[in-house]
Structure 1
Amino acid sequence: MASVELTAENFDSTIMGNDIVVVDFWAEWCGPCKMFAPTFEAISENHPEIVFGKVDTEAEKSLAAAAGIQSIPTLMIFRDSILLFSQPGALPPAALEDLVGQVKALDMTEVHRELEKMQNNVENN
């Protein structure tokens, strides 16, 4: 599956409506973004069960600001609507493929359990 354009209108519904979403925050003028784009597209073709979305930070300034984007490209990966990875900078193909594999293999029951513990600690303090 090729990547999809994410906007302020469809970002939340895409994150909440899909198991895994990989998001590339980019801009047309950004050289590293242009260099990373073919890698992002190639990996998206390897994983049709995952949504790969792109946010044009120039067209979606409020969305980029809400996501705390300070440097592009920035890659974010969500699973079960939980942000598991956020890092600025382009990744080489093998690193992105490995990262996607790690997210797919993650035991989300344990992640949810840990999040619940953290939330209970905050509420109890």
Structure 2
Amino acid sequence: MGYERNYASQAPARPEVDALPGAVVLEFGTGWCGHCSAAQPAIETAFGEHPRVTHLKIEDGPGRALGRSFRVKLWPTLVFLRDGQEVARAVRPRDVEDVATGLRHIDPDGGAT
């Protein structure tokens, strides 16, 4: 759990994502995307306050079914899920607060146990 550094080239199927329990963030983008690279420090910092949240970093592009099923148009797009249901979304987050807001929606207690 927690922040994932690398984009996975193989995405899970949508039914698998819909069945994921708990707090999950899907991040769609690519390693060569300048906007994606610029957003990484803010994303990593925000995840530091939410270590229990699962972060699935998915390589996206034309013809990639998972990204299309979530209607992803710009990178990076973060989809915040709670028990497989979209609760919030951040498109091209510019700072930590853009990401932290979504994380608070799916993991309001953060690292507290």
TM-score bin (small chain): 0.7 to 0.9
Contact map agreement 1:75 1:87 (CA 8 A) in 2: yes
Aligned to 1:24: 27
Give the C-alpha shift of residue 78 in structure 1: 0.5
1:52 maps onto 2:81 in alignment: no
Give the C-alpha shift of residue 38 in structure 1: 2.2
Gaps of 5+ in 1: 106-125
1:34 maps onto 2:37 in alignment: yes
Which is greater in Rg?
Answer: 1
1:100 maps onto 2:103 in alignment: yes
Paired residue total: 106
Q: Could you say which structure has the higher helix fraction?
A: 1
- TM-score, normalising length: structure 2: 0.73
Question: Does the residue aligned with 2:89 lie in a helix, a strand or coil?
Answer: strand
Contact map agreement 1:7 1:60 (CA 8 A) in 2: no
- TM-score, normalising length: structure 1: 0.67
Aligned to 1:67: 70
Aligned partners of 2:50, 2:20: CA distance in 1, in Å? 17
Contact map agreement 1:6 1:54 (CA 8 A) in 2: no
Sort the Cα spacing of 1:88 and 1:72 in 2 relative to 1 into closer, same or farther, 3 A. Answer: same
Sort the Cα spacing of 1:80 and 1:40 in 2 relative to 1 into closer, same or farther, 3 A. Answer: same
Select the structure with the greater relative contact order (CA < 8 A; seq sep ≥ 6): 2
Q: What is the identity, as a one-letter code, of the residue corresponding to 1:2?
A: Y
Give the C-alpha shift of residue 29 in structure 1: 2.6
Aligned partners of 1:6, 1:80: CA distance in 2, in Å? 23
Give the C-alpha shift of residue 65 in structure 1: 1.9
Give the C-alpha shift of residue 34 in structure 1: 0.5
- Provide runs of 4+ in structure 1 moved above 4 Å: none
